[in-house]
Amino acid sequence: MLKCGDMLVSRWLRLRSLCNRVCPHTRREERKGLLWRRTLIGHQFTGTLASSRPCHSDVGDLYQNECIQRYLQQLMQEYRYICQRLELPHISEADRRALIKKHTELLPLADVFTDIEEALKDQQEVSSLLLGSVGAKDEDKQLTELLKEEEAQISCKVLTLRKNLVKALVPIDPLDSSNVLLEVMAGRTTGGDICQQFTREMFDMYRGYAWFKNWDFEVYNYTPAEYGGLHHAAVRIAGIDVYKHLKHEGGTHRVQRIPEVGLSSRMQRIHTGTMTVIVLPQPVELDLHIDPKDLRIDTFRSRGAGGQSVNTTDSAVRVVHLPTGTVAECQQSRSQLQNRDTAMRMLRARLYQSMMGEEIKHRQTVRKQQVGERSQSDRIRTYNFSQDRVTDHRTGHVARDIKEFMRGGGALDNLISDVLENEEKQALLELVENRGNGRDLTNPD
């Protein structure tokens, strides 16, 4: 998708290079056109865009934002100051260490910044050459073409660099690299069957996505409902940057479809249902001590005789943490020990959540936000089967071909990247504004 986007960007740049001045406003308009093509976003968001923040444009565009610029300039000033200080002969060892630390932090940013400035200088040169060649003779036409080509290339480079620069500014969520515990839960709103069927489909979608991303997908709990539906399932997804990609999946997902059977099916009546996704980060190192004495482990065997005198295939295990009443169950494996290990891991994740104090309290609010009121109002995404369309309500991203989308492949990945980019921008803007300097500035957009 990135490649395709780049291709379009460079194509657009070729067109763009015919004009000499880049007016931010028209540029925005064009970008919007581009995004529309890329993500099939409808036209409906153009109106809302005029409000305070650019909510759905490329990350690189943020570079134009004055707050960001100011922030960037500050950082560069700081960098230059540090460089100067470091050259002074008479600073204490402690100071030097602190400065070097700060220096290494800012170095990558400074590098990109210098690259941009150099690229801009090149661009200016090429532009002035181009200006000079306007109205030139036929034999110079080839040269003009070449110059245009070069300008386009440089602009493209500048844009990529800016993107990188802004990305380097985005605050990093320390939990991004964590594995997650993902839960799917059928909604209790109208149309129970619809909700359960949809929950099952969502479960399959995330399984497909884990496969697409080459992540491990380990089922911890799976409570099926009638007719192939799903009440609740918990899975552990492990791999590279799992939390980063899945953290914005938490929330209420809404489905709209005509049921496959029953009266509504014959009447072609559209039903609406919901399901909830909960995504909890599972820190890599769980520094959590659980006293075995606090656990009650229930198995088939605890209900009667065992050992050689019984042959059972019931390998389900339930672990109860007595002091907190936290429960975890697992029946996924044919090995009882594996089920117990899985249940224990699940329990640990849950206990970790409830034991880690303020930070967790905050995250629990996030969980609550994700669970919401389990009503249809705070949904994050709608899956409209009758119109074959998925709409994310935070970005306005629309994906067609719902069947393909629910496979959890590239289409879902596109949407997730889009949401992620959007969230990153919000986070950056928040950071910049919270620094106080940006607060009194009128938003340039």
Partner 1 sequence: SSPCLVTLWTLGVVQRGQFHSLHTCSPPALPVGRITALQALEFWKKHFEESGVTEPDLSSHYIVAHSLGGKTIESLEQRKLTEFLSREKTEQIWKLCTKRLSRMPVQYVIQEWDFRDLTLTMRPPVFIPRPETEELVELVLTDLKNKPSSGDTVQTCLEVGCGSGAVSLSLLSSCPQLQVVALDRSQEAVELTKENASRYTVVNKTDLNKHRADEACSRCSPVSVLVSNPPYLFSDDVKTLEPEILRFEDPFALDGGSDGLTVIKQILTVAPKILSDRGGIYLEVDPRHPPLIQQWVEANVAELRYVETRPDINSRSSNKSLLCLPPLYHYPCVNLRRRRGAAVITLLMCDIQAVLGEKKI
Inter-residue long-range contacts of 75-79, CB under 8 Å, 24+ positions, other chains counted: 75/106, 75/109, 76/109, 76/110, 76/113, 78/102, 78/106, 79/103, 79/106, 79/107, 79/109, 79/110
Note whether 219 binds partner 1 by CB under 8 A: yes
Q: What are phi and psi of 351, to 5 degrees?
A: -65, -40
Cα–Cα distance measured from residue 230 to residue 183, given in angstroms and rounded to the nearest whole number: 12
Judged by CB, which is closer to partner 1: 339, or 370? 339
Judged by CB, which is closer to partner 1: 99, or 297? 297
We find the least distance from the C-beta atom of residue 268 to partner 1, in angstroms, to be 22
Note whether 4 binds partner 1 by CB under 8 A: no
Which residue in the set 264, 299, 326, 364 belongs to the binding site for partner 1 (CB under 8 A)? 299
We find the least distance from the C-beta atom of residue 352 to partner 1, in angstroms, to be 21
Note whether 308 binds partner 1 by CB under 8 A: yes
Note whether 334 binds partner 1 by CB under 8 A: yes
Note whether 168 binds partner 1 by CB under 8 A: no
We find the least distance from the C-beta atom of residue 119 to partner 1, in angstroms, to be 50
We find the least distance from the C-beta atom of residue 305 to partner 1, in angstroms, to be 5
Q: For residue 147, give both structure tokens.
A: 């110059």
Note whether 313 binds partner 1 by CB under 8 A: yes
Cα–Cα distance measured from residue 135 to residue 420, given in angstroms and rounded to the nearest whole number: 47
> Environment class of residue 436 by beta-carbon count within 10 Å: exposed (0-12), middle (13-18) or buried (19+)?
exposed
Cα–Cα distance measured from residue 276 to residue 252, given in angstroms and rounded to the nearest whole number: 4
We find the least distance from the C-beta atom of residue 224 to partner 1, in angstroms, to be 7
Judged by CB, which is closer to partner 1: 266, or 296? 296
Among residues 349, 192, 345, 214, the alpha carbon closest in space to that of 278 is found at 349
We find the least distance from the C-beta atom of residue 165 to partner 1, in angstroms, to be 44
Note whether 293 binds partner 1 by CB under 8 A: yes
The residue to which tokens 């050259």 are assigned: 87
Judged by CB, which is closer to partner 1: 111, or 204? 204
Cα–Cα distance measured from residue 188 to residue 276, given in angstroms and rounded to the nearest whole number: 10
Note whether 325 binds partner 1 by CB under 8 A: no
Which residue in the set 160, 196, 315, 353 belongs to the binding site for partner 1 (CB under 8 A)? 315
We find the least distance from the C-beta atom of residue 288 to partner 1, in angstroms, to be 18
Cα–Cα distance measured from residue 243 to residue 380, given in angstroms and rounded to the nearest whole number: 18
Q: What are phi and psi of 91, to 5 degrees?
A: -120, 150
Residues 220-249, interacting with partner 1 (CB under 8 A)? 222, 224, 228
Cβ-proximal residues to 44 (8 Å cutoff; 6+ apart), any chain: 396
We find the least distance from the C-beta atom of residue 332 to partner 1, in angstroms, to be 6
Q: Which residues bind partner 1 (CB under 8 A)?
A: 200-201, 204, 219, 222, 224, 228, 292-297, 299, 301-302, 304-315, 322, 331-338, 340
